Amino acid sequence: VPAKRIRNFSIIAHIDHGKSTLADRLLEFTRTVPDRELQQQFLDNMDIERERGITIKLQTARMNYNYNGEDYVLNLIDTPGHVDFSYEVSRSLIACESALLVVDASQGIEAQTLANVYLALDADLTIIPVLNKIDLPGADPEKVKREIEEVIGLDTTDSVLCSAKAGIGIEDILKTLIEKTPPPLAREEEPLRCLIFDSYYDPYRGVVTYFRIKSGRIQKGDKIRFMNTGKSFLAEEIGVLAPTQQPTDTLEAGEVGYLIAGIKTVEDARVGDTITHEAENRRAPDALPGYAEAKPMVWSGLFPTDAADYDTLRDALSKLKLNDAALQFEPENSAAMGFGFRCGFLGLAAHGRRAGRGPSLSACTRLEREFDLDLICTAPSVVYQVKPMKGEAYFLSNPSELPEPTKREWIAEPYARLEMITPDEYVGPLMELAQNRRGVYKDMKYLVEGRTTIVYEMPLAEMVTDFFDHLKSRSKGYASMEYSLIEYRQNDLVRLDVAVNGEPVDALSFILHRDNAHGIGKELCLKLKEIIPRQMFKVCWLSAMVETSRGRRNCSRNRLRARSA
Ligand code: GDP
Ligand code: MG
């Protein structure tokens, strides 16, 4: 297909604003899938979602559409709809030339939409506002247009009114897409550069990589090289997603496709990496900009309640890792908890946003369900930075490895910029929530009548467990949030140990602000008293101890009664 007939676009929307429904309508209208296959939303297949876990993106789809007598190819490149994946969203967006900004006309813009629009603007995309759900009696497209103009500064002259559900405005959207999306640059004579925007592990075919060709052309059987990892493979199969995989022989600059090359783990086909040719005379001189390696931000200990399950747990984690380049784990051995693993996860909420749980817990639940395991997960911890008295500052993900107070100069913790968008009446409760979590107030703006955005800088540690749940409950579900990491800041942080009969249980140690240590230590002890398997101990004392410059001090002490044998 000549580049001038290709349009690559993505859809930006807040959850529930109608992205999947609209994608289905586009596929249906362009006859990419026959109607009966749409009985369940084709692109948003829940089974795949479950199988692939939290890194799922909607599938990419190629549509053919005849407009004014010309045949066009429209590639819908989807983005993960989750705050934790802003890097992956940004890679998907730079694979496109435009984005449909879908906003529920009865709701208005939400925090996550706003954040993704800024990523799209950074990537120089043309943004086409789409006011969805105009069939609803509460829809006020003019008000939402005003919001888009005032808050984002976008011209809404070319915006489209639609109802994805009722099938209104779909043809208009296709027409606007073709007219307003710039075609890709025709650079097929330059060296090959493909941007990877997604990859997943298929147990039968190995890793399937989705890419957008920025320059050059790729042929079936080519020897290829991943420029950032330096690994080489043979392009056994390439093809397009129409929307199921259809093999082709050649793909050229501007096109979107998939690749199968005997790759064994998604770590070797990382999002953001550049594919070029292996032969030195055909290699691109440099990789596409913006590559970054996903690093876990939150760590937690996982221990099988039955020591015999250790190997099953290791296998289960290895399996998850095939599909999650950011997941890391290492063996951890604790006197009280036995053998287990310390696991690092990418985001703060993972898929817990819907389940209302922290990352370790969601991963925990998944492991338990899929691999029939019974696990204990310790509280999630962020990655701290520590400066020892002697030597350079370093990063630390396991609180039990923190040097004693006399052997360290300072501890720093990651801060995030947090943006909340809420109806006015919840501003007070949300500010109180942020203040209770050591948030530093930065800014507040009125959007349109009745809606406000509030910005805080907040320690990530205060957000990792249940912040999102509290935000939702304090705003009756109406507020939305978005965050991005900004920097490390030194604080008066201390380690809290939990001890059984005076012996600290290293796996339960964590780092927190000194001001919170006593309250949280007490609370934790009371909770643990209920949870700790009593058969493990005869009669014992459970205590929480906070470090001070002169050693540890008890902040709570509880007697555990043994269950009668
Ligand atoms: P997503 O989370 O952005 O993918 O949103 P979905 O496409 O799953 O839609 C969320 C809900 O809104 C579903 O119950 C849809 O049926 C509904 N919905 C989507 N588009 C429309 C629309 O145009 N009108 C109305 N009334 N409901 C819609
Ligand atoms: Mg959806």
Residue pLDDT, tens place only, 254-280: 999 999 999 999 889 999 999 999 999
CA-to-CA distance for 440 and 322, rounded, in angstroms? 39
Check the annotation: does 18 bind a ligand.
yes
Least confident of 219-233, 273-287, 320-334, 535-549: 535-549
From the CA of 105, the nearest ligand is: 1
* CB neighbour class for 282 (10 Å; exposed up to 12, middle 13-18, buried from 19): middle
Distances (CA, A) of 367 to 295, 297, 315, 361: 21, 20, 11, 10
**pLDDT class for 553, splitting at 50, 70, 90?**
confident
CA-to-CA distance for 89 and 123, rounded, in angstroms? 11
Residues 316-334, mean pLDDT to the nearest whole number: 85
- Residue owning the nearest CA to atom 28 of ligand 1: 165
**pLDDT class for 229, splitting at 50, 70, 90?**
very high
Distances (CA, A) of 293 to 88, 272, 446, 462, 483: 10, 8, 36, 24, 19
Give pLDDT tens digits for 122-175: 999 999 999 999 999 999 999 999 999 998 999 999 999 999 999 999 999 999
Check the annotation: does 307 bind a ligand.
no
What is the distance in A from the centroid of ligand 1 to the CA of 154?
A: 24
pLDDT of residue 355: 32
What lines the ligand 1 site, CB under 6 Å? 13, 15-21, 132-133, 135-136, 163-165
**pLDDT class for 453, splitting at 50, 70, 90?**
very high
- Residue owning the nearest CA to atom 21 of ligand 1: 165
What is the distance in A from the centroid of ligand 1 to the CA of 165?
A: 7
Give pLDDT tens digits for 356-374: 333 444 667 777 888 888 8
Q: Which one is predicted more confidently, 325 or 256?
A: 256
Biggest CA–CA distance in the chain, Å, is 84
**pLDDT class for 54, splitting at 50, 70, 90?**
very low
Residue with tokens 């050591």: 438
From the CA of 21, the nearest ligand is: 1
Check the annotation: does 15 bind a ligand.
yes
Exposure of 420 in the CB half-sphere (CA atoms within 13 A): 30
Check the annotation: does 13 bind a ligand.
yes
Region of 364 on the Ramachandran plot (φ > 0 left; ψ -120 to 50 alpha; else beta): alpha
pLDDT of residue 148: 94
CA-to-CA distance for 259 and 261, rounded, in angstroms? 6
Residue with tokens 């370093």: 394
- Residue owning the nearest CA to atom 16 of ligand 1: 165
- Residue owning the nearest CA to atom 25 of ligand 1: 133
With a pLDDT cut of 70, the percent of the chain lying above it is 89
Give the long-range contacts of residues 551-556, CB within 8 A, separation 24 or more. Answer: 552/497, 555/496, 555/517, 555/518, 555/521, 555/522, 556/521, 556/522, 556/524, 556/525, 556/526
Question: H-helix or E-strand containing 455?
Answer: strand 451-459
| Top-confidence range, 232-236, 356-360, 395-399 | 232-236
Residues 196-224, mean pLDDT to the nearest whole number: 94
Least confident of 32-46, 117-131, 249-263: 32-46
Q: What mean pLDDT value characterizes the chain?
A: 86
- Whether residue 465 is predicted with pLDDT greater than 80 in this model: the reply is no
From the CA of 103, the nearest ligand is: 1
Q: How many CB atoms lie within 10 A of CB 14?
A: 23
| 44 CA: nearest ligand 1 atom | 4
From the CA of 46, the nearest ligand is: 2
Amino acid letter for position 83 = V
DSSP output for 305-360: SSGGGHHHHHHHHHHHHHT-TT-EEEEEEETTTEEEEEEEESSSSTTHHHHT--HH
Check the annotation: does 334 bind a ligand.
no
pLDDT of residue 363: 67
Here the tokens at position 367 are 């492991």
What is the distance in A from the centroid of ligand 2 to the CA of 300?
A: 29
Here the tokens at position 354 are 């819907």
- Whether residue 281 is predicted with pLDDT greater than 60 in this model: the reply is yes
pLDDT of residue 439: 97
Residue with tokens 């209208």: 29
What is the distance in A from the centroid of ligand 1 to the CA of 152?
A: 23
For a mutational test of ligand 1's pocket, the pick from 16, 44, 56, 112, i.e. the residue with the most ligand atoms closer than 8 A to its C-beta, is 16
Residue with tokens 């919840």: 426
What is the distance in A from the centroid of ligand 2 to the CA of 161?
A: 19
Query: Are 192 and 284 spatial neighbours (Cβ–Cβ below 8 Å)?
Result: yes
What is the distance in A from the centroid of ligand 2 to the CA of 15?
A: 7
Check the annotation: does 277 bind a ligand.
no
What is the distance in A from the centroid of ligand 1 to the CA of 21?
A: 6
CA-to-CA distance for 541 and 561, rounded, in angstroms? 9
Residue with tokens 């600290």: 504
CA-to-CA distance for 133 and 121, rounded, in angstroms? 25
* Strands 540-548 and 503-504, sheet pairing: unpaired
Here the tokens at position 392 are 């350079």
Q: How many CB atoms lie within 10 A of CB 207?
A: 22
Residues 106-135, mean pLDDT to the nearest whole number: 93
Residue 405: φ, ψ to 5°: -55, -35
Here the tokens at position 545 are 């101890």
**pLDDT class for 211, splitting at 50, 70, 90?**
very high
Residue with tokens 């020897």: 223
